[in-house]
Amino acid sequence: MDQSRAVVALAALAQETRLAVFRLLVRAGPEGMVAGSIAEHIGVPGSTMSHHLATLERADLVVSQRESRLIRYTVNFDGMRGLLGFLMADCCQGNPALCDDLLSVPACQPALAGADR
């Protein structure tokens, strides 16, 4: 990822609702969630949620897939890895072993109970 793409991704996440949506979709895992369920969980009207999801999609942080009349959103894990890789590329003065604890992630949490997928 280059710096201009990183700026777009970070700008997309630098808003409270979009950050909450991104974190919700990370927890939901590869199955993702339909737009209406995301809006319901976050407590935002559907039209407002569409705007936030479009911003995250333009930033390559989420992807959408139409399923009949519904749109399912999932995290773009490649985009997320690209952003994290960009942020960590020059870590620790060329000694990435010093940053290992920053990159260790606890086991994935179970998907949200009751989330419509």
Give the separation between CA 57 and CA 41, rounded to whole angstroms. 19
Share of the chain above pLDDT 90, in %: 69
Give residue 23's pLDDT: 97
Instruction: State the average pLDDT over residues 11-20.
Output: 98
Which three-class secondary structure string do you get for the chain? CCHHHHHHHHHHHCCHHHHHHHHHHHHHHHHCEEHHHHHHHHCCCHHHHHHHHHHHHHCCCEEEEEECCEEEEEECHHHHHHHHHHHHCCHHHHCHHHHHHHHCCCCCCCCCCCCCC
Q: Is the pLDDT of residue 87 over 60?
A: yes
Q: Is the pLDDT of residue 83 over 80?
A: yes
pLDDT digits (tens, 9 = 90+) for 30-81: 999 999 999 999 999 999 999 999 999 999 999 999 999 999 999 999 999 9
33 versus 93: which is more confidently predicted?
Answer: 33
What are the chain's domains? 3-103 (1.10.10.10)
